[in-house]
Structure 1
Amino acid sequence: MKLRSLVALLVMLPTALPSASAQEREATRTPTLAEYTSGSPSQLRPTSLRALQWLGDDYIYIQERNLILGTPGAKKAERTLLTQDELLALIGEGTKGNTAKYFSPFQVVGRDQRHLLITFSGKHYVLDPRTKQLTTTFEQDTKREKTFDLAPTLEASAIIKDHNIYVTTSRGEEVQVTTDGSPTLVYGSSVHQNEFGIHGGLFWSPDGSQLAFYRMDQSMVAPYPIVHTNTRKATRQDLYYPMAGMPIHHVTVGVYNRATGKTIYLNTGLPKEKYLTNITWSPEGKTIYIAEVNRQQNRMELKSYSAETGEPLQTLFVEENEKYIEPQHPLYFIPNRPNEFIWQTRRDGFSHLYRYTTSGKLLGQITKGDFEVISFLGFADGGKTLLYTSTEQSPINRVAYRISIDGKGKKLLTPQPGWHIASASKSGKYLLDTFESLHDVRENRLVSTATGRDQRLYQSDNPEASYITPEIILGTIKADDGKTDLHYRLIKPTNFDPTKKYPTIVYVYNGPHAQLVQNRFHAGSLGWDLYMATQGYVLFTIDGRGSDARGTAFEQVIHRHLGLHEMADQMRGVDFLKSLPYVDTNRIGVYGWSYGGFMTTNLMLTHPETFKVGVAGGAVMDWSRYEAMYGERYMDTPQENPEGYKATNLALRAKDLRGRLLLIHGTIDPVVLWQHTQLFVEACVKADTYPDYMIYPEHEHNVRGADRVHLNGVITRFFKDHL
């Protein structure tokens, strides 16, 4: 058997941390709720090299008040590149910030990735840390500036303020690019509810001479009132939130030419209700590529446009899917081959890399197999080699590979089973790899992409080495279809006694773009479930069909009837729990947030004989009131799928509530509107059923910061009181 196959087989088998009893001989206490809460100031978590990233082909990180530089292969691998005092003197702020505990936060910028952008005391500074020279300075309007986007050539920046785009230079020149921006006419920001891999709205050309930007007209979308109560009189904020089946915003792409001072708009044509995604400049800056998705989200056309005239040049190719299609990645142009690019798509059922010419000719599929390419990391060998991470070792692992652009010579660079988060140096000769697994606390490594040899840069201590901690088990069971493997995480109570029976909580999400079970430290748990294990509970999580990183067929089973197959798979998980002699089958609860809140409520209503207690946070209760981009992708429109929407409107089933269900919602949630749980409560009142309720004023879709400890306390008390 090949080593890779053997490793994959071992990962598929149930695995566990060293037994709790071995740890308890030296442990003195269990972690507190705050110490287990993600984001808490006192959270116990592995450490890493602070701000570790590439500076060209060198790596840098913060070590207290020093910026450290490392050169792969050098005799003296690391040295202090810049101190905080030197930085403050360089930017003329020697008397300010000199008591900071750490070196100032920074961003690596520029085409060569050799400069730092530091925002400090009302200004944006661009500097070369190697020569210790200040390159450019931009004034910051702290009250009005919403976005600052630096050109790759470093001498200009794009700024959003007062709803409009301004281009500024280091010489203090400022040009107002747009003049009619407003809350309903949005420039330079993310569009389409940040779906389809969209993370921003400003796109500099490679030479910094032109700026492409999104223009979103949302005047046809009825405003939705978000009410803020932290003023003497409550104030209203209008949210332009297109719901499924209702009019959606119209988006176009503008191009501002710095030399001429003129702006043109790409002629993307009709219909106006479509999605313009994954905007990419050609290397020479004359062409813009857009992946255009129809509103039905079953057809994508990759088109090119002239950046000078705005007119369409050609449709390179079309992708279609009978259920839905979802492009997530821009074009990756191959170095030294300006007419060739890499395209990432799920065209064959799994996310893979393909090589194309700019005329639309397919040169070949580079990666193949029943696994997902998770991220494209970059090029090596002057463009002859690709670097990427994938699930090829196991769906619960992430590993990095190199492969030739012709699909040959594939090499596994990070063979250790577990979770590798990698980034490539400018030349692609090295990776910075942050690695962890169920058995390995986090470490930072330097990996040669030519040989795969690695060097450990940093090893985190186990933050729980002196604590009593629960045993975590990873394994698989079959889905409701009887053939698909589903991965689970099971956390046993501390001081586990196999002769006892324990209350059990199912933590659930099971929706697209999320994978909860991971071969990493704590197996992907965020901490609350670990704390509940210290309180005498079994915690169980399973990634059923519909969740992420398993391919199209695995995910698309949810299409047009959200919750149906997901619940069936969760119930197979319950069957597994019932087979365990230590699970108290009369005391099973369920908890989830967002899609998981929808699943929690649905499970409570559908299987009251199984679930005694539930907690649903930020839950979708009626998919017709969810946003159009996400909702229509998975459900089509309410007009096209009335039965599907009716079946997933949980308010219509409020009469079926039997157990104790706690609903939690942030009052200014812009993702799942507070209206969802309010209407469900209203339906329960009319149906004479009795949910419990908790709100978090002025919190959005989740409760973050110090208040998260309070949230976890509320959830803990509810299960302790009722399960």
Structure 2
Amino acid sequence: MKKVFLIFLSLIFIFTFQVKAITLEDITSGKFQSKDIAEVYPSADGVHYFTATNGNTRIVKCEYRTGHEVDTLFDVKTARECNLEQFDGFSLSPDEKHLLIYADSEPIYRRSFKATYYTFEIRRNLLKPLSDGGKQQAAVYSPNGRMVAFVRDNNIFIKKLDYGTEVAVTRDGERNKIINGIPDWVYEEEFALTSTLQWSPDDATLAFVRFDESHVPEYSFSLYEGYCPTYPEYTLYPGRFTYKYPVAGETNSQVSVLSYTVETRALKTMKLPISSDSYIPRIKFTTDPNRLAVVTLNRTQNEMDIYSVNPKSGISKLLLRETDKAWIEESILDNISFYPDFFVIASSRSGYQHLFRYNYNGTLAKQITKGEWNVSAFLGYDEKSRSYFYESNQEGPLYKAIYKINEKGIETKLSERIGTNQASFNPSCTY
């Protein structure tokens, strides 16, 4: 017994001796940060995807089936007129002939940033600055890939790539007063929103949300050199950051939805039956260019409406009203998807969050999923097999798994291991 006890003490000593204390330098150096998988953009062909590699110096096309690279779209070493050593991110035009590449990002709040954007024509291997007027936000291609809408200094601009011209959509943007196309602090923080710019499928219209925060109270706090990142300009004296911040119960931004017609340059405000303190956390064009879906919430956030709005006339029609005794979960906002003949929405009306299918006349077509568990994400619909794909916690509240369910209600589990599973599908939901 004494011998066993001595061996036990020796093991404790060895274990203790080998443990190295974690220092502040270890934490701030990023040594213990998680490694994320590079963001993936599905190709319209359904069998390929696009991603950044080599420390954000290349953008490549890969095959879903094997994961192997099949083509290089962009490389900082070989692109014409490229002075970048690396980039921060990219997006693809819908026709997959152009790239939006951004670098020199400056964070604004938790999710938002401004950066220097570039357009890249893949066929010509040519990189060009999007605009010379200063850093931009929320740049997005039109469906035909011939225009880019973006925000600078709270105003919206459209760059027409065929002619190299830049058109101002709005001119009333002003810090701490009027914001066009991007959200105020409340919307970004509470609704995970960084842009409201929405192109119509026919490229004719750009819709967006306008925020009037003129009457929102201001909040200020001091800035010091020692912040991360550091502010060397405040070495001797602190600076000050002031922004519009409504403490609970105070005045929120007044919001409205506007449409801009590219051909006539006309702005029109949509007619929505909402109160002055209502929220508009999402807008999105359906497959019909004459049907803009506008999601609204009351301030208590226990009543959500989805309107079908004609961007030309501005007339709105209520499609769906969703209510809850407590509040509407923010996750529901990103689980609304629109298809040519119907739309899918998540709802907790049964006590558990499930998927429902609605027609555009506002009638319920069917409840897609049922059970004493929650659907945490709607992932897509395969029109060919008429199957819906989603993420749920059927295996327990600590777990997430990936499933599909067909029109007959037959459910198939797709993920293999128990744990936290996530998925991103190609447009046809075949990979």
**TM-score when normalising by structure 1:** 0.49
Q: Which amino acid aligns with 1:145?
A: Q
Aligned residues of 1:381 and 1:429 also touching (Cα < 8 A):
no
* Aligned-pair CA distance for 1:120: 5.7
* Aligned-pair CA distance for 1:350: 1.9
Classify 1:126/1:350 alpha carbon distance in 2 versus 1 (closer, same or farther; 3 Å): farther
Aligned residues of 1:59 and 1:69 also touching (Cα < 8 A):
yes
Give the Cα separation in 1 of the matches to 2:126 and 2:377.
33
Aligned residues of 2:352 and 2:374 also touching (Cα < 8 A):
yes
* Aligned-pair CA distance for 1:107: 2.4
1:206-355 to structure 2, matched below 5 A, reads: 206-230=201-225, 231=234, 232-312=236-316, 314-326=317-329, 327-329=332-334, 331-334=336-339, 338-355=340-357
SS at match of 1:423: coil
- Give the aligned partner of residue 362 of structure 1: 364
Q: Which amino acid aligns with 2:338?
A: F
Classify 1:190/1:397 alpha carbon distance in 2 versus 1 (closer, same or farther; 3 Å): same
Give the Cα separation in 2 of the matches to 1:258 and 1:83.
30
Classify 1:49/1:297 alpha carbon distance in 2 versus 1 (closer, same or farther; 3 Å): closer
Q: Which amino acid aligns with 2:187?
A: Q
Q: Which amino acid aligns with 1:388?
A: Y
Give the Cα separation in 1 of the matches to 2:103 and 2:275.
45
- Give the aligned partner of residue 108 of structure 2: none
- Give the aligned partner of residue 81 of structure 1: 71
Q: Deviations over 1:409-456 (max 9, x none)?
A: 2111002001112111122111xxxxxxxxxxxxxxxxxxxxxxxxxx
Q: Deviations over 1:151-174 (max 9, x none)?
A: 232211122222211111112211
Give the Cα separation in 2 of the matches to 1:112 and 1:34.
48
1:25-36 to structure 2, matched below 5 A, reads: 29-30=19-20, 32-33=22-23
Bigger-Rg structure (1/2): 1
Give the Cα separation in 1 of the matches to 2:341 and 2:130.
39
Classify 1:139/1:113 alpha carbon distance in 2 versus 1 (closer, same or farther; 3 Å): closer
1:271-670 to structure 2, matched below 5 A, reads: 271-312=275-316, 314-326=317-329, 327-329=332-334, 331-334=336-339, 338-382=340-384, 384-404=386-406, 406=407, 408-430=409-431
Classify 1:134/1:229 alpha carbon distance in 2 versus 1 (closer, same or farther; 3 Å): same
- Give the aligned partner of residue 539 of structure 1: none
**Are 2:102 and 1:119 equivalent residues in the alignment?**
yes
* Aligned-pair CA distance for 1:67: 4.7
Aligned residues of 1:138 and 1:169 also touching (Cα < 8 A):
no
SS at match of 1:89: coil
Give the Cα separation in 1 of the matches to 2:249 and 2:36.
46
Q: More deviation in 318-327 or 250-259?
A: 318-327
- Give the aligned partner of residue 54 of structure 1: 42
Q: Quick one: which of 55, 79, 97 aligns to 1:90?
A: 79
Which protein has the bigger strand share? 2
* Aligned-pair CA distance for 1:214: 1.1
Give the Cα separation in 1 of the matches to 2:321 and 2:366.
16
Aligned residues of 2:335 and 2:377 also touching (Cα < 8 A):
no
* Aligned-pair CA distance for 1:260: 1.6
Q: Deviations over 1:210-263 (max 9, x none)?
A: 111111111121222233344355444332111222222210011111012101
Which protein has the bigger helix share? 1
Classify 1:227/1:143 alpha carbon distance in 2 versus 1 (closer, same or farther; 3 Å): farther
SS at match of 2:78: helix
1:81-230 to structure 2, matched below 5 A, reads: 81-82=71-72, 86-93=75-82, 96-97=83-84, 100=85, 104-111=87-94, 115-119=98-102, 124-128=118-122, 132-134=123-125, 137-141=128-132, 143-170=134-161, 171-183=163-175, 184-191=177-184, 192-194=186-188, 195-196=190-191, 198-230=193-225
Percent of matched pairs sharing the same residue: 23
Consecutive aligned runs of 4 or more in structure 1 exceeding 6 Å deviation:
none
Q: Deviations over 1:437-477 (max 9, x none)?
A: xxxxxxxxxxxxxxxxxxxxxxxxxxxxxxxxxxxxxxxxx
SS at match of 1:342: strand
* Aligned-pair CA distance for 1:89: 3.1
Give the Cα separation in 2 of the matches to 1:187 and 1:413.
42
Classify 1:68/1:162 alpha carbon distance in 2 versus 1 (closer, same or farther; 3 Å): closer
Pairwise CA RMSD of aligned residues? Answer: 3.1
* Aligned-pair CA distance for 1:388: 1.4
Q: Which amino acid aligns with 1:143?
A: G
Q: Which amino acid aligns with 2:404?
A: R
Give the Cα separation in 2 of the matches to 1:318 and 1:311.
18
Q: Which consecutive residues of structure 2, in runs of 5 or more, have no partner in the other structure?
A: 1-10, 105-115, 226-233
Give the Cα separation in 2 of the matches to 1:248 and 1:419.
37
Q: Which amino acid aligns with 2:166?
A: E
Classify 1:256/1:383 alpha carbon distance in 2 versus 1 (closer, same or farther; 3 Å): farther
- Give the aligned partner of residue 640 of structure 1: none
Aligned residues: 388
Give the Cα separation in 2 of the matches to 1:407 and 1:114.
39
Give the Cα separation in 1 of the matches to 2:53 and 2:18.
31
Aligned residues of 2:296 and 2:304 also touching (Cα < 8 A):
yes
Give the Cα separation in 1 of the matches to 2:278 and 2:387.
35
**TM-score when normalising by structure 2:** 0.79
Give the Cα separation in 1 of the matches to 2:304 and 2:100.
36
Q: Which consecutive residues of structure 1, in runs of 5 or more, have no partner in the other structure?
A: 1-20, 431-723
